[in-house]
Structure 1
C-alpha cells in the first residue's frame, strides 16, 4: 500500500501543509494548517466507485486500467516544525 505524508511547515509568511514539493494555500496559524491537513488526509483515504481509468504514458501510448475504488493510500500528517506525527 502507498503511504502519503502531509507535512505542516512555515510558508509564505504563514503556515501550509506540503506533499512532496507541492504546498497548500497559506494559513494564518499552524493550528489552521494542521486542521486542514488532517481533513485532506482523511479525504485521501475515502474510497470511490469502481471505474476504468485511461492514461497516456511518456511514449504517447494510451492504457486502460480498472480501479475497484478501494485502492486508496494510507495518509498521515506530520507537524514539520516539530518533526513528529500529528495525532
Structure 2
C-alpha cells in the first residue's frame, strides 16, 4: 500500500501543508494549516468510484488508467 506524508511548512507569508513539491493554500496560523492537513489526510481514506482516469506525466505524455476506487493510500501528517 502506498504511504503519503503531508508536512507543515512556512509558505507565502503564512503556513501550508505540503505533499511532495506541492503546497496547499496559505493559512494564517500553523494550527490552521495543521488542522487542514489532518482533514485532507482523513479524506485520503475515503474510497471513490471505479473510473478511468487520465493524467499527464512530467514529460508531457498523456496516460489513461483504470482506478478501482478502493486502493487508497495510507496518509499521515508530519508536524
Tell me the TM-score range normalised by the shorter chain: 0.7 to 0.9
Gaps of 5+ in 1: 80-87
Q: Provide the TM-score with structure 1 as the length reference.
A: 0.74
Counterpart of 1:37 in 2: which secondary structure? helix
> Please, what TM-score do these two structures have when normalized by structure 2?
0.80
Aligned residues: 78
1:30 corresponds to which residue? 30
Match of residue 69 from structure 1:
69
Bigger radius of gyration among the two: 1
The alignment partner of 1:41 has SS state of helix
Cα RMSD after superposing both structures: 2.2
